[in-house]
């Protein structure tokens, strides 16, 4: 897990040092989450990448579309997770945002696929004008979890 996080953080720092897209309307996040299904005694962990694009920005409110891909780590193995959703963000103080996301996700584990609608809420803290961290709580189809991430806008 430490190697995967180092790789994700290195990629995000490389992207953040580039001025390819200077409007900051795109972002990418490296994420880690721990989930607890209602139907199982086992929790599972995911690491993944989320890419998003702001589609409406009327300060202090923003709307973005995002797509996520993840894979499981640990003993209870999730083969793959993918999701697409809309994210509503509001700036409540300089460098501090609250957000809510709703969307549709699909998970594959042990040869079985499941899909459903889900949501999450969380907070973002900006370390610079482009690099931020976040923490979130999520629910999707009888499973809830907490996550942390590091992102960069470009």
Across all residues in the chain, what is the average pLDDT?
Answer: 87
The reported pLDDT for the residue numbered 3 is: 56
Give whichever of 65-79, 100-114, 123-137 has the largest mean pLDDT: 123-137
Q: Of 23 and 50, which is predicted with more confidence? A: 50
Residue with tokens 């997770």: 81
DSSP 24-53: --EEEEEEEEEEEETT-S--EEEEEEEEEE
Helix (H) or strand (E) holding 5: helix 2-16
Cα–Cα dist 38/24, whole Å: 38
Q: Which residues pair with 153 in a beta bridge?
A: 27
CB atoms within 10 A of CB 72: 20
pLDDT at 111 over 80: yes
When pLDDT is cut at 50, 70 and 90, the band that residue 20 belongs to is: very low
Helix (H) or strand (E) holding 108: strand 96-109
Q: Which residues pair with 24 in a beta bridge?
A: none
Q: Which residues pair with 60 in a beta bridge?
A: none
Per residue in 57-68, pLDDT (tens digit) is 888 899 999 999
**CA-wise closest residue to 51 among 23, 30, 73:** 30
Domains contained in the chain, CATH given = 2-15+23-153 (2.40.160.20)
Q: Which residues pair with 145 in a beta bridge?
A: 35, 138
Mean pLDDT confidence for 18-40: 80
């Amino acid at each position: 897990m430490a190697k995967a996080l180092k790789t994700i953080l290195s990629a995000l720092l490389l992207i953040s040092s580039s001025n390819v897209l200077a409007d900051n309307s795109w972002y990418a996040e490296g994420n880690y989450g721990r989930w607890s299904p209602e139907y199982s005694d086992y929790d599972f962990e995911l690491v993944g990448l989320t890419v998003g694009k702001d589609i409406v920005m009327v300060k202090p409110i923003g709307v973005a579309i995002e797509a996520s891909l993840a894979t499981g780590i640990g003993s209870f193995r999730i083969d793959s997770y993918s999701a697409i959703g809309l994210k509503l963000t509001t700036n409540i103080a300089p460098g501090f945002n609250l957000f809510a996301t709703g969307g549709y996700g699909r998970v594959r584990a042990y040869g079985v696929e499941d899909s459903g609608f889900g949501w999450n809420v969380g907070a973002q803290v900006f370390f610079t004008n482009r690099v931020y961290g976040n923490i979130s709580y999520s629910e999707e189809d009888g499973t809830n979890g907490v996550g942390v991430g590091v992102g960069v806008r470009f």
